[in-house]
Amino acid sequence: MQPGTEVYSAPSWRVTRWLADAGPGAPDDIRAALIAQLHGSLPVFAAGAVNTIAVAAVIAMRQPTALFVAWLIAELAICTARLVVLIIAHRAARAHRKTPTDLHLVLAVAWSCSVGFGAIASIVSGDWVVAMLACLSAAAMVGGICFRNFGAPRLAGTMILCSLGPIVPGVALTHEPMLYVVFLQVPMYLAAMTAAAFRLNRMLIATMRAERENSHRAHHDALTGLLNRAGFVEALGTRLAARAEGQFAVMFFDLDNFKPINDTFGHAAGDEVLKAVAARVRRVLPDGTVVARMGGDEFVVLLDGVTAEMAQETGHRLIAEVAARYELGGEVRASVGASVGIAMSPDHGAEVAELLAVADAALYEAKSGGKSRCCLASVETNLAALRRLQQSSPKGPDRGRGLMRVEACSVRTA
């Protein structure tokens, strides 16, 4: 998770879960994003709150009855509570603490009920200026309700019903035949806006699915399902930007004697070996470890919270796991080895390019020294090697292989 990402808790009450439901088939990550969308921003909230409070205040000034004063007090209390809850939610989301999502949703419905109460009270008052003002305000709020909350269409429909629905019984109490057209208008408007909320919800979920699928394809290797180079660089950059305490290791490894498999059994067999290697690496490494296929038979691992000795132990486990035989179907079996180069942060660098170059140079040393070896880069010589790399190779870390003396190389046999 990237630093600064706001995480809003899912509603836990039965009624709020129903209100916030995004519909069938929405993945958990999209549901979480839609919950975040429901919280909106403070300026958007302020615009609606100022409008309804101003309308209630003007009407209370024109008709200073207990009913309208009570409505103004209710508007002030609800909007103030919503503001406080929204601020608490934003702060808690930034700190990745539990957010008061249930209370936020309940207060949203309460606010729409208050708008509807003002509309019916104004109509019943017989003051048509007041009635027109309150009903226009309620109708204006409906558009904002729909387009702000269509991520949860049930919530949007409920709020629209609470805002506009009271106009119908209010008109019935006036006994004014000319207003009975509202019996047709309000239900049709309610149905149309609610249907629009559901359609927008489906469109939004489809768009978010497509965005996530495109992002996944852009950051993942299609063959193995691991991250690709772009995905790993982003993950490594995020880890460095977080400035979390403790060391971490960047481990480059590639396969020894992989080319003969392609030459002998074909590229399909080689692909099966690469997929099997990816599965074995995931099995050996702790959950949550970042693993990527950089291209061809080259892989890289971001191992967090480890010492140099622990990283070397992990490197030897990787070598042993990768070296086990591969069943390619029928009587066909294949064997490959692995060589590992390790760079430690912050000892060997604090930038993405530095760490990749150091680990890549250590991998080159491991392979040139006899393969199936694990080499840890040298603390003393890595800066000088990187300077030479920058001077002689603007195209990337591959040109820098072999420039660095390593601190320790070792090989283990089963």
| pLDDT > 90: percent of the chain | 50
Of 189, 218, 247, the position where a domain reaches its end is 218
- Residue whose structure tokens are 């209390």: 77
- Note the pTM of the prediction, 2 decimals: 0.69
134 and 247 inside one domain: no
- Same domain flag for 190 and 248: no
Token couple for 120: 């019916």
Q: Check residue 293 and give its pLDDT.
A: 95
User: Hey, which residues does 402 pair with through a beta bridge?
Assistant: none
Q: How do residues 79-109 score in pLDDT, each as one tens digit?
A: 999 999 999 999 999 998 999 999 999 999 9
How many domains is the chain partitioned into structurally? 2
Helices (H) and strands (E) counted in the chain, each on its own, are: 15, 8
Q: Residue 409: its pLDDT value, please?
A: 67
Given 161, 184, 218, the domain boundary residue is 218
Of the chain, the percentage scoring pLDDT greater than 70 comes to 90
Angle at 130 between CA 124 and CA 132, to 5 degrees: 95
In a domain, 5, yes or no: no
Residues paired with residue 344 on neighbouring β-strands, in sequence order: 249
- pLDDT tens-digit series, residues 11-38: 999 999 999 998 887 888 899 999 998 9
The closest of 170, 297, 301 to 232, measured between CA atoms, is: 301
Say whether pLDDT at 402 is over 50: no
φ and ψ at residue 9, rounded to 5 degrees: -70, 145
Q: Which phi and psi (to 5°) does residue 59 adopt? A: -65, -40
Residues 206, 139: one domain? yes
Model pLDDT, residue 29? 87
3-state secondary structure 154-174: HHHHHHHHHHHCCHHHHHHHH
Do 235 and 199 lie in one domain? The reply is no
Q: What is the pLDDT of residue 389?
A: 56
Which of 218, 249, 281 is at the close of a domain? Answer: 218
Cα 268 from Cα 138, distance rounded (Å) = 65
- Which of the pair, 144 or 282, is modelled with greater confidence? 282
Question: Do 192 and 243 reside in the same domain of the chain?
Answer: no
Residue 393 neighbours by CB under 8 Å, 6+ apart = 399, 400
Please give the residue range of the domain that contains residue 29. 14-218
| pLDDT band at residue 392 using 50, 70 and 90 as cut-offs | low
**pLDDT recorded at residue 371:** 79
The one-letter amino acid code at 86 reads L
CB 300 within 8 A of CB 353: no
Q: Answer yes or no: do 88 and 214 share one domain.
A: yes
Query: Predicted confidence band at 395 (pLDDT cuts at 50, 70, 90)?
Result: very low
Closest CA to 396 of 366, 345, 359, 341: 359
Give the tens place of pLDDT for each residue, 319-340: 999 999 898 877 778 889 999 9
Phi (first) and psi of residue 295, to 5 degrees: 135, 145
Q: CB of 363 within 8 A of CB of 398?
A: no
What integer pLDDT is reported at residue 278 of this predicted model?
94
- Given a cut of 90, whether residue 310 has pLDDT beyond it is yes
Task: Let me know whether 169 and 145 are in one domain.
Answer: yes
Cα first-last separation, the chain: 38
Q: Which two tokens stand for residue 259?
A: 């080319």
Q: Indicate which CATH number applies to the domain containing 311.
A: 3.30.70.270
* Range of lowest pLDDT (50-59, 331-340, 373-382): 373-382
pLDDT tens for 132-191 read 999 998 888 887 887 788 889 999 999 999 999 999 999 999 888 888 888 998 899 889
How sure is the predictor about 245, in pLDDT bands with cuts at 50, 70 and 90?
confident
d(CA 395, CA 136): 64
Residue 211 shares a structural domain with residue 330: no
299 confidence band (pLDDT: 50, 70, 90): very high
User: Does 401 score more than 70 pLDDT?
Assistant: no
Closest CA relative to residue 364, chosen from 411, 322, 315, 397: 397
Give the whole-angstrom CA distance, residue 167 versus residue 131. 10
Provide the token pair at 190: 């309610």
Considering the domain architecture, whether residues 75 and 115 belong to the same structural domain is answered as: yes
Mean pLDDT of the chain: 86
Q: Cα–Cα distance between 115 and 135 in angstroms, integer?
A: 9
Mean pLDDT over 212-219 rounds to 88
Tokens of 212: 């996530």
Residue 66 within a domain: yes
In a shared domain, residues 110 and 206: yes
